[in-house]
Structure 1
Amino acid sequence: MDERQWETVRRLADWLAEGSTQPPEMQRVLQCLKLGEEAGEVAEAVIGALGQNPRKGFSHSWDDVADELCDVVITALVALVRVHPDPPAAFDAHLAKVADRVLPQPDRPDRP
C-alpha cells in the first residue's frame, strides 16, 4: 500500500472515532470484532454467488464477493491503525515474514 492509501485508512479510523461514544480501548475491541461481521458478509455473498440458499437463489455476484472482501481488508486495516503505532511498518514486516515462510526462495534450496 502507498502512503495515500494509508492516509485514507487513518482518516476512516479518525472518522469512526469521532462518531463513537465508546472509550478508545473499547473502540479498538469493537473494530476487531467488526472483522467477524464483515467475514460473515463475505460468506453470505459467496453462498449467494453459488446459488446455495434455496430461498434466495443466485442473490449475489462475484463482484459482490469482491466488494465484501474489500470491506474485510478495509476493516482490518482500520483495526491495525487503531492497535499499532506504525501500521505500515507492522503490515510490511508481517507480510515479509509470511512470504519468507511460505514462498519459494531461489537462494535457499532447502525451501520449496
Structure 2
Amino acid sequence: MTADVYAAVHAAANWLDEHNGGGDAELMAQILKVTEEAGEVAAAWIGATGRNPRKGVTHTYGDVAKELADVAFAALVAIDSLGCDPADVMATCAAKVTSRLDVPAVTGGST
C-alpha cells in the first residue's frame, strides 16, 4: 500500500498553518524543522554505528532510514508552505540530478 505522500504533505502544511498561523514565523519554524530532523539522523547514525563508546549501538540502519524520511517529509512540508508544488519541485530536482548522471532519465512511480 502506497500512501499519497504529496496529499499528506499538503495536509500537514495546512494543519500547521491552522494551528500555528501562517506567515514568516511559521515558515521559519518549518525550515528549522528540517535542520532539527537532520540532527536526529546524525544521532541515529552515531547510534547505529556505535560511535559513542559510552552508549554503544543504540539504533539500526532502519532507524536511520526513518529519520531520513522525516527530513524529507519536513522539507516537502516547507516547500508546500512556501506556496510551491512539492511534486513539481522534486521532479525538477530529480531531472537536474539525472542530467548530471550517465544514466537515462527515470520515469514513472514505484510499484
Same fold judged by TM-score > 0.5?
A: yes
Distance 2:66 2:28 in 1: 24
Tell me which structure has the larger Cα radius of gyration: 1
- For residues 67-106 of structure 1, what are the alpha-carbon distances to aligned partners after superposition, in whole Å with 9 as ceiling and x for unaligned? 1011001001101101133232222112212211x21157
Alpha carbons of 1:105 and 1:61: their partners in 2 closer, same or farther (altered >3 Å)? closer
Identity of aligned residues (%): 43
Instruction: Provide structure 2 residue ranges, at least 5 long, that are not aligned to the other structure.
Output: 105-111
Alignment correspondent of 1:12: 12
Opposite residue 96 of structure 1, the aligned amino acid is A
In structure 2, what residue type is equivalent to 1:40? G
Distance 1:94 1:104 in 2: 16
Structure 1 stretches lacking a partner, 5+ long: 107-112
RMSD of the alignment, in Å? 2.0
**What does 1:23-42 align with in structure 2 at a 5 Å threshold?**
23-42=22-41
Alignment of 1:1-112 (within 5 A): 4-20=4-20, 22-100=21-99, 102-104=100-102
- Residue-pair matches, total: 103
> Letter of the aligned partner of 2:18 in structure 1?
E
